[in-house]
Amino acid sequence: MTTTQSLLEVRPRIAAPLDPGFRPAALGNRAYRKAVAAVTETSIGVAVERNNGLVARYDVDVFAPGSAHDADTVRFLERTIKFLLWSIGGWKVWLAGPEPLCAPIRDAYRAGGARAFDAELMARVYGRPFEVAIVPREKLPAEKASKSAVGGHLDGCRIGFDLGASDYKLAAVVDGNAVFSTEIPWDPKTEPDPAYHCAKINAGLKLAASHMPRVDAIGGSSAGIYIDNKVMVASLFRAVPLEQFESVVKPMFLNLQREWGVPLVVINDGDVTALAGAMSLGKNAMLGVAMGSSEAAGFMDRAGSLPGWLTELAFAPVDYNPAAPPDEWSGDCGVGALYFSQQAVNKLAPTAGFGFPKEMGLPERLKEVQKKADSGDANALRIFETIGVYLGYAIPHYHDFYDFENMLILGRVTSGAGGEVIMKKACEVLAKEFPDFASKVALHVPDEKGRRVGQAVAAASLPEIKRGQP
C-alpha cells in the first residue's frame, strides 16, 4: 500500500446502488485497527465528561506520530471522538497521548474550527463551555457511570405522554394497563409563546388524570435533548425566543413536577423507543433507531437501564467518503441524518431519476417515492436498497460503541415495500461482510404487541415510585 492511499476509505464488498462512493466507517475503522495491531504502536486515552461528573473512558490504539499514516491517524481519532460525543455526550474531552496527534483535535473544537458546531451545541446542552484538554495519562479522570435504572416501572397510577410535532399522545396507565389513551393536536414548532406549550401539556395531563383515581407518577417522551428533566435543545420549541426558552421552557418539566407533587421523568424519544422495544420483546441490550424526519436513536443496556447518553446518532459519522454531501445543520459530511431519514431519500432521489417541485416538503417526497416502491418501481426500490446497504454497514459500526444484542428499526422511512427492502439488504450485508458478527445481533421491527405497548405507555413507566416507610 502506498503512503497516499487512505486506510480508512475502504470500498465495500456490497456496493450501495445509488452511492458508489460510499465508504463505510465500519470497514475503515477495522482496516485501521488491523494495521495498527500489526505494529502495536501507541494508545491514546480518551475521557468524556458530561453532567453530574459522569465520565466515560475509551482507549484508542493508533500509529505513533511520524508514521506514513499520520493523516489517517488524526482523521480516525477525530471521527472516533466525534462519535463518542454524539453517542455519550459531554462538555469536556480529555486526551492523553502524543501532542502532534491530540493538538489537531483540540484545534478542531475551538471557535472557528472544523467541529465548532459540535462544541457550541455541547456547551448549550450541558450549560458550560466546551473544552478539549491534553493531559498526562495519570490525569485522566476515572470512569463514572450512572447507576440509576430508569423505566420499566408498572406499579401504580401513571400518566405517560409523547410529544410530537403535530400531536402528542397521552396514556393513563394503572398497574401496567392503559385505561385511557388519546392524541391531542397541537402546533408547537410555530408557537413563540411558551405559555402555550405549558398550558397545552398541562391540560393533557389533567385529561389523563381524570381517568384514574389518583396520579402516582408522570413520564414523558419528546424529541430533543433533556438533561435532569431540563429541556436543553428541542426543535418543538424552536419558535420560542431564547430568553424565554431559558426562563420558561428549560425548567418547564421541573415546574410541572412541583405542581403535581409526584415523580416526573422526561427523556429523549429515542431512549423511550428502545424502552418500548425492550418492554414489548422482553429483551434488554436494545438499540432503537427510528428513521423519520431525521435519525433518532436510543439505548438500553444489558441490565435494563437507560444510561443517560445522548445517542444523537444523526450527527455520528457513518461514511468516510470525503466527497459525501454535508449535513445542512452541522456542516459535517458522512453523518447519520443523511443516511437514515427522509433526508437520505431526498439525497438519493435525483440519482434514481426523481424530480420534485421545489416547494414540496420532505415528508411528501418520501410518500411519492414510497408509492412508487409499493407499485414495484425499480428506481424507487433502489433508493431503499441503498439505505439498506448503509444500515447493514452501520450496525456493526454502532456495535463498536454500544453493547447491544437487539436492534429495533422503525420510522416512516421503513414503511411499506421500501422498508422490506431496507431490512433484506441490511441482513445481506451482515451475512456476507460480517458473518461472525451477524449472529450476535437480532434485528426487530415493531409488531402488533409493540404497537400496543406504545411510546406513551412506555414513557409512563419511566419514574420510580418511592413508597413511604410503614
Lowest mean pLDDT among 31-35, 184-188, 390-394: 184-188
Residue 470 has pLDDT above 50, yes or no: no
Assigned domain for 241 exists: yes
If one counts the domains in the chain, the total is: 3
Same-domain pairing of 279 and 257: no
For residue 232, give the C-alpha cell: 436543553
Same-domain pairing of 116 and 221: no
Q: What are the strands of the beta sheet with 217-222, ordered from one edge?
A: 177-185, 167-174, 157-163, 217-222, 264-268
- Report the C-alpha gap between 443 and 387 in whole angstroms: 15
- Report the C-alpha gap between 26 and 104 in whole angstroms: 23
Sign of CA dihedral 199, 125, 112, 326: negative
Q: At what angle do helices 362-374 and 416-433 cross, to 10 degrees?
A: 80
> What are the pLDDT digits (tens) for 430-443?
999 999 999 999 99
Same-domain pairing of 290 and 429: yes
Same-domain pairing of 133 and 230: no
- Structure confidence at residue 60 (pLDDT): 95
Band of the pLDDT at 392, cuts 50, 70, 90? very high
> What are the pLDDT digits (tens) for 228-268?
899 998 888 989 999 999 999 999 999 999 999 999 999 98
Assigned domain for 203 exists: yes
**Structural domain for 249, as ranges:** 157-263
Which residues does 443 contact at the CB level (< 8 Å), separation at least 6?
A: 395, 407, 409, 423, 426, 427
Please, are residues 442 and 406 in contact by the beta-carbon 8 Å criterion? yes
Same-domain pairing of 325 and 440: yes
Residue 110 has pLDDT above 50, yes or no: yes
Residue 121 has pLDDT above 90, yes or no: yes
Query: Could you please report the per-residue DSSP string of 162-202?
Result: EE-SSEEEEEEEETTEEEEEEEEE--GGG---HHHHHHHHH
Give the CATH number for residue 333. Answer: 3.30.420.40
Assigned domain for 149 exists: no
Residue 225 has pLDDT above 70, yes or no: yes
> What are the pLDDT digits (tens) for 291-320?
988 898 999 999 888 888 999 999 999 999
Q: State mean pLDDT over 107-122.
A: 96
Same-domain pairing of 321 and 448: yes
Return the percentage of the chain with pLDDT > 90, whole number.
76
Band of the pLDDT at 142, cuts 50, 70, 90? very high
Question: For the chain, how many residues are written?
Answer: 470
Residue 35 has pLDDT above 90, yes or no: yes
- Structure confidence at residue 3 (pLDDT): 46
For cell 461514511, name the residue. Answer: 319
> What are the pLDDT digits (tens) for 356-382?
999 998 989 999 999 999 999 999 999
Same-domain pairing of 333 and 281: yes
- Report the C-alpha gap between 255 and 241 in whole angstroms: 19
Same-domain pairing of 257 and 376: no
Of 171, 177, 252, 266, whose CA–CA distance to 223 is shortest?
A: 266
- Structure confidence at residue 279 (pLDDT): 84
Lowest mean pLDDT among 76-80, 398-402, 453-457: 453-457
Its pTM stands at 0.89
Select, from the ranges 62-66, 147-151, 182-186, 424-428, the one with the highest average predicted confidence (pLDDT): 424-428
Same-domain pairing of 286 and 225: no
- Structure confidence at residue 147 (pLDDT): 63
Q: Which of 228, 263, 298 is the last residue before a domain boundary?
A: 263
Residue 453 has pLDDT above 70, yes or no: no
Q: State mean pLDDT over 214-222.
A: 95
Assigned domain for 362 exists: yes
> What are the pLDDT digits (tens) for 157-178?
999 998 887 778 899 999 989 9
Band of the pLDDT at 322, cuts 50, 70, 90? very high
For residue 159, give the C-alpha cell: 400518566
Assigned domain for 408 exists: yes
Assigned domain for 12 exists: no
Q: State mean pLDDT over 87-100.
A: 97
Residue 448 has pLDDT above 50, yes or no: no
Assigned domain for 3 exists: no
- Report the C-alpha gap between 353 and 280 in whole angstroms: 40
- Report the C-alpha gap between 255 and 25 in whole angstroms: 43
Band of the pLDDT at 447, cuts 50, 70, 90? low
> What are the pLDDT digits (tens) for 265-278?
999 888 888 888 88
Q: Which of 235, 263, 291 is the last residue before a domain boundary?
A: 263
User: If you average pLDDT over every residue of the chain, what do you get?
Assistant: 92
Assigned domain for 17 exists: no
Same-domain pairing of 315 and 429: yes
Same-domain pairing of 407 and 301: yes
Same-domain pairing of 294 and 433: yes
